[in-house]
Amino acid sequence: MSDTLWLQIKDGSEVTGGDWDLTSMLRVERALEALASRCSVVPLSRFYDHSELATDLGAGSRDAQPSWSPAAEGLATVEALLGQYRATPEVITSVAGKGAQDTAYLGEELEHCRERLVEATARGATFRLLVVP
């Protein structure tokens, strides 16, 4: 069993999300990092929250603290990555060295994130990409 990502939105004290499994995004993490660098945007990994994993492993309280970021920051990254992926999807497969099965849902996952982050940005909410073991 491998880790996955969940996009969660925090609006005040309410946390929503986790209804989509973003496994493709995690599988091609290195390619998305390289693409983010080329697009001059913050890499998605900066928004990863490992608190669930830290709790499962019994890590210290500092590692187990949730990490939230402004939705607008995530939106800028996701829109840049999605735009590049839509224009040239092979950029991910060539950099990642992954086949179509690893990237089959990547566009859908990025679009899901974009839609949720547009809504969250309009409300001034925060978000995280929760790494789920």
Distance CA 2, CA 36 (A): 24
pLDDT at 1: 43
Mean pLDDT by 10 residues, the chain (133 residues): 87 93 90 94 96 58 76 98 90 63 81 98 97 88
Per DSSP, which regions of 1-133 are E strands? 4-11, 14-17, 48-49, 69-70, 126-132
Task: Kindly report the backbone phi and psi dihedral angles of residue 117, in degrees, each rounded to the nearest multiple of 5, phi listed first.
Answer: -75, -30
pTM of the model: 0.87
Looking at residue 27, its pLDDT comes to 87
> What does the pLDDT read at residue 92?
80
Element (H, E) at 54: helix 51-57
